[in-house]
Amino acid sequence: MACNPENRSAFVMGFLTGFQLKGKFPINIGSENKMLIRVFFGPTFDIRLVTLAFGLNHPADYTGNIETDARLQTDAIRSYFWSEGRWIFANAGFGMDFPINERFFLGFDLRTWFPVYRLWTDHHLPNIDGRRFGAGLRITPR
């Protein structure tokens, strides 16, 4: 969650990685030109690096109390993210590629990541919590 510098204790950087199955469906739109529709699905893993926030070096940042100690809070955040499979997601999406000339396609992707861990934990949170959405443009050789 975004917060002001005076209210932070941890720096969290995430890296989504995974693999997916992809299906391609060509559609004729002219004599030689084919539009491609792509669909994909697969597992994704959110690898998160959790460290102390930068610039914390004042003795008041390390009190030994979880309410005010940045190191204890960072450890609690790290434990939360890596417990109960909160790093397991599923990825699904679709895209379309349009011919721009004989050698290249211009396309777009729309995708979403579903937090699979919500099947067994965090039931009290809203259904949308943890989902991620993405859009992209691409140029692809034929």
Segment 46-73, tens digit of pLDDT:
999 998 888 777 766 777 888 778 888 8
CA 82 to chain CA centroid, Å, is 15
The structure tokens listed for 95 are 């895209």
DSSP conformational letter for 77: H
Report the DSSP beta bridge partners of residue 93. Answer: 40, 111
Using a 10 angstrom Cβ sphere, with 0-12 exposed, 13-18 middle and 19 or more buried, the burial of residue 58 is exposed
- State which residues form the domain around 54: 5-141
Domain count, the chain: 1
Residue 60, helix vs strand vs coil: helix
Q: What is the pLDDT of residue 78?
A: 93
Residue position matching structure tokens 């209210």: 7
Q: What is the pLDDT of residue 23?
A: 95
Q: What is the pLDDT of residue 5?
A: 60
Task: State the Cα–Cα distance between residues 110 and 93, nearest whole angstrom.
Answer: 6
Q: What is the pLDDT of residue 4?
A: 62
pTM for the predicted model, two decimal places: 0.77
Residue 33, helix vs strand vs coil: coil
Q: What is the pLDDT of residue 30?
A: 67
Q: Which stretches in the chain have pLDDT values below 50?
A: none
Q: What is the pLDDT of residue 125?
A: 87
